[in-house]
Amino acid sequence: VIVILRMGAPRADADRVLQVLKERGVQTAVFFGEERTVITLLGAVADAELLQSLETLPGVDRVAAMQDPYRLASREAQASGSVVRVGTAEVGGSGFAVIAGPCIVRGREDLLELAAAVKARGASILRGDAYRAGDSPFAVQGLGPRGLAVLEEARRATGLPIATEVQESGQVETVSTIVDLVEVGPDNMKTLALLRAVGASGKPVILKRGLSATIEEWLKAAEHVMRAGNPNVILCERGIRTFEADRQSVLDVSSVPVVKRLSHLPVIVDPSHGTGHGYLVQPMALAAAAVGADGLLVEVHSGGDGELADGPQSLSLAEFERLMGALHGILGAVGRTLARACPPDGGVSTA
């Protein structure tokens, strides 16, 4: 059961409903949406008299039964699409956000150069992993705190908000005080301790779809983050495992309109890991823009070592530039424009 408040109902009205439910021993989860507040009653509430009385409280629009296991993320909770503020940038709304950078932060010069280059080509957020454990323990590992410091320096130099992946709940506190956006990888999509830690941090988060996760499981994972108090969830489609032997994952572009129908959360697409092949990145990035994605997460390398360490899906700067050029045409056709990082005086903290 959910209690939907009227548009613009004051906070006091929500508090009143919460107080009544608390007195009756009903546990709740609250979503303070951009349009309206939605209170979810947890567990089975069979008290019809209580439910009726809720409808008479000030500010309450309606009390509705809800079958979906995802509630806070549901279109029923909020009809219009959410816009997540990421430092001075935004994901969602009419802008199309391109988040770009290397797989792993390797060194200062390398990242500073790449950050300036992706910004000049239209990226609005810089990404790079600091805490990275490769698939194999012998693969390239992240630089840890030094990698975060390099990301910070790149933010200072370019003004781009920064994103990095968290692997364990113990990293969330440190990482979230530094970066503007945290990423939860596909292998961790169902790691509850990590989802709760990211939820408690309140930091904008990219939640990547697990390789064998259904859309419902993915949305339920988002619920855990939102339930822990963080509405700033961006979903990221990055491929699912199929019987295709030559591809580590097959990008499910159809998940974008499916999720858009079910949820108000922004959805972006990672055509790099979603395909695993450089030549597939641009066509799938354009497909993502065409089907209504809110942005891309793209791996770009600076040449040299990066090319080897980041894998065959990573684009060179020249390839990234071509992709950005081609993107304009698609965005124009679907009535969107490339999102830009706003000036830092937009009133949003970057820490």
Q: Footprint of Mn ion on this chain (CB under 5 A)?
A: 103
Structure-token pair, residue 90 = 């935004």
CB of 130 to Mn ion, least distance (A): 13
DSSP readout, 193-227?
A: HHHHHHHHH---EEEEPPTT--HHHHHHHHHHHHH
Nearer of residues 76 and 270 to Mn ion, judged by Cβ: 270
CA angle 115, 265, 278 (to 5 degrees): 40
Residue (of 106, 100, 104) closest to 118 by Cα position: 100
Nearer of residues 38 and 179 to Mn ion, judged by Cβ: 179
CB of 282 to Mn ion, least distance (A): 17
- Cα distance between residue 179 and residue 349, in whole Å: 11
CB of 113 to Mn ion, least distance (A): 19
Nearer of residues 103 and 162 to Mn ion, judged by Cβ: 103
- Cα distance between residue 216 and residue 337, in whole Å: 30
Tell me which residue has its CB nearest to Mn ion.
103
CB of 181 to Mn ion, least distance (A): 16
Nearer of residues 103 and 225 to Mn ion, judged by Cβ: 103
Residue (of 302, 300, 301, 268) closest to 285 by Cα position: 268
Nearer of residues 70 and 131 to Mn ion, judged by Cβ: 131
First to last CA, the chain: 37
CB of 104 to Mn ion, least distance (A): 7
